[in-house]
Amino acid sequence: GGSKSSSSTAGKLVFDWSFESGNLLSADETVKESEYDLKIRPDTNNPKYRVWFYFSVKNARKKQVVLFNLTNFSKGKSLYRDGMSPLVKSTSRPHFQRLPSRSTYYYKCPRHKMNYVLSFVFEFDNEDDTYWFAYSFPYTYTDLQHYLHSMDRLNLTFYRRDLLCRTVQNRRVDLITIGPDGTAQEGYKIKSSASNPRRVVFITARVHPGETPASFMNHGLLEFLLSSDTQAVVLRKHVTFMIVPMINPDGVFNGNYRCGITGNDLNRQWDTPSPWCHTENYHIKQMMQSLGDDPCLSLDFVIDMHAHSTSM
């Protein structure tokens, strides 16, 4: 993270990305007060991935129109070619919404060695506002922690939250267990026996930090499974759901697109995960193996939630 500050004269934009999940490497004014070339910071310890961006802008003039060019994407194929557009929110309008696709261009740029460039035009409407721009709807580690804390406070008898492990940077990798009444105390082995094995579904999400829709899907699933909907009640009675809602909290927190803090794509570390370097994979794999080996349990499904940057 870091910020690029300048004089306080309105119209000279001030960029910042030193916040949770923020990402930008540099912002250079190429046409006075009306065009900026932006570079994405590569994933921590891995220069190969440059896709996720999330930054703020302030000190704009009212009605100032600016062309932003993100110039160093590491992949060419993108939904930006098919009409997807970046997101914006501001102090006055605190919910992210998409920029109009007519204001967004994704193209091979001769000025940038024929790299793919994302350009978008934006008109600032309030001098006092801070504006945030993002690759996709952010869902941060803190968002997840706040949500899980709010679930903890409900004292539900069919919900349990455990610490599966801590990451290299000491963040929580949470394991949520949802099942019949009594799960809060007894955990996933509740009402299980060799003669009548308890059915288990294991779900993980957000191994790739930039794939934020995976967290929104997972959030919706948790909301449904914890609800009083009749289908949710029946599912909890017959099936235990074990959910790791964020495999890669370090990557998410640091604004990476694909990797953890050590520069590894954690979705390529399942064969022989290191207990230190890939601690998330190591503990999830151990848990899955113990579930699979338990004669009192039937591990029916393992679902890993992702999102796609090139396919609808």
Of the candidates 71, 101, 66, which has an alpha carbon nearest to the alpha carbon of residue 86? 101
Average pLDDT over residues 284-291: 97
pLDDT higher than 90, residue 263: yes
* pLDDT band at residue 312 using 50, 70 and 90 as cut-offs: low
pLDDT higher than 50, residue 307: yes
pLDDT at position 28 is 97
Average pLDDT over residues 9-30: 96
pLDDT higher than 60, residue 278: yes
pLDDT higher than 60, residue 88: yes
Which residue do the tokens 């794999």 mark? 285
Q: How far is CA 34 from the centre of its chain?
A: 31
pLDDT higher than 60, residue 115: yes
Q: Distance between CA atoms of 285 and 298, rounded to whole angstroms?
A: 16
Q: State pLDDT tens for residues 169-179.
A: 999 999 999 99
* pLDDT band at residue 5 using 50, 70 and 90 as cut-offs: very low
| DSSP secondary structure letters along the chain | --EE-----TTS-EEE--STT-B-SEEEEEETTTEEEEEPPPBTTBTT-----EEEEE-PPTT-EEEEEE---S-S--GGGGT---EEEESSS-S-EEPPGGGEEEEEEGGGTTEEEEEEEEE---TT--EEEESS----HHHHHHHHHHHHTT--TTEEEEEEEE-TT--EEEEEEE-STTHHHHGGGTT--SSSPEEEEEEEE-SSTT-THHHHHHHHHHHHHTS--HHHHHHHHHEEEEEES-S-HHHHHTT-SS--TTS--GGG-SSS--TTTTHHHHHHHHHHHHHHH-TTEEEEEEEEE---SS--
pLDDT at position 113 is 87
Q: State pLDDT tens for residues 144-189.
A: 999 999 999 999 999 999 999 999 999 999 999 999 999 999 999 8
Average pLDDT over residues 132-144: 98
Average pLDDT of every residue of the chain: 95
pLDDT higher than 50, residue 7: no
pLDDT higher than 60, residue 6: no
pLDDT higher than 70, residue 14: yes
